[in-house]
Amino acid sequence: MVNHREIASLIKLLDDPDQEISGHVEEKLLSYGNDVIEYLEDAWEQSFDAILQERIEDLVHRIQYQNMKTELELWYLSGAFDLLQGVIIVNKYQYPDLDDIKIIGQIEEIKREVWLQLLYDMSAVEKIKLINHVLYTIYGFSGNTTNHQDPQNSYISQVLETKKGNQILLAIIYSVIAQKLDIPVYGVNLPQHFILAYVDESQESDFESGILFYINAFNKGFIFGRRDVDSFLKQLNVKPDKQFYEPCTNVDIVKRIIRNLVSAYEKMGSATKVEELTGLLGIFSSDQ
């Protein structure tokens, strides 16, 4: 049970000039977790002391970061089955008050638009052309080519809002919608790119693992083949490897989002964010 008086007394001691006391107070407040955030925000509003406000902001962020990290650990340890959930959790790093239901609702809305036009005798290519029509023509999604390094491209809430994103976030939105409609589209972790594979083991295919073709979500759902992947790897001077052709795991996808964010914040010189996000990668250390 929350001790309101104790919390109020601790907050008053936050600006104590004795660093040992203020440090002890911070740790005690941190131990309350989410329960203390409301009190800290009230104290911030009532304070005219810029240093105290900064300390409160830091405390709130530390609590929210720890919550998000715990949530990501639970997602990983419970099997990482729901990709959208993993992506939403990462989004909470920058947007801790994110409404999960809103994001899920936005995805469901796009899915429903595809479902209304989906016919069961459609071929694999026809199904992809339908998703392309809904995503890129009706909803106006596109790759953010002008500001590709912007960290906002890696947060699903912002990509759904602005309809612009990087390769991996557009591919995630695409594959999540497809899978909700039982269309077997999965992410493929290419170096310097992220693509999708249409997997159907019931049909004959020249590919391994039942892959019929690949899809470039960053380029309006362009469909291409294995030889194009070969050429791309050759251009990069990268030796072909099985992992560059076949679907990757949800954990691989979430790790790649976090690495993209680390890279984006490094370029911006945000050392604290780089450190915190790198700390999140440690959750998956057993998955290396």
Q: Are residues 40 and 68 in the same domain?
A: yes
Domain count within the chain: 2
CA distance 65 to 60: 9
Q: Are residues 161 and 265 in the same domain?
A: yes
Tens-level pLDDT at each residue, the chain (288 residues): 556 677 766 676 666 666 776 677 777 777 767 777 777 777 666 776 766 777 777 788 888 899 899 999 999 999 999 999 999 999 999 999 899 999 999 999 999 999 999 998 999 999 999 999 999 999 999 999 888 789 999 999 999 999 999 999 999 999 999 999 999 999 999 888 899 999 986 665 545 568 999 999 999 999 998 888 888 888 888 887 888 889 999 999 999 999 999 999 999 999 999 999 999 999 998 665
Q: Are residues 116 and 24 in the same domain?
A: no
CA distance 49 to 205: 67
Q: Are residues 271 and 173 in the same domain?
A: yes
In this prediction the pTM is: 0.86
Q: Are residues 66 and 136 in the same domain?
A: no
DSSP codes joined into one string, 203-245: S--SSGGGEEEEEEGGGTTEEE-HHHHHHHHHHHT----GGGT
- Domain finish residue from 77, 99, 130: 77
Pure H helices in the chain: 4-12, 19-32, 37-46, 50-77, 83-91, 100-117, 124-132, 156-162, 167-180, 226-236, 250-268, 271-281
CA distance 9 to 5: 6
Cβ neighbours, 10 Å, residue 30: 13
Q: Are residues 96 and 193 in the same domain?
A: yes
Q: Are residues 54 and 104 in the same domain?
A: no
Q: Are residues 145 and 280 in the same domain?
A: yes
- Domain finish residue from 77, 93, 115: 77
Cβ neighbours, 10 Å, residue 233: 19
First to last CA, the chain: 40
Q: Are residues 121 and 165 in the same domain?
A: yes
Q: State which residues form the domain around 269.
A: 83-287
Q: In this structure, what token pair is assigned to residue 47?
A: 């304070």
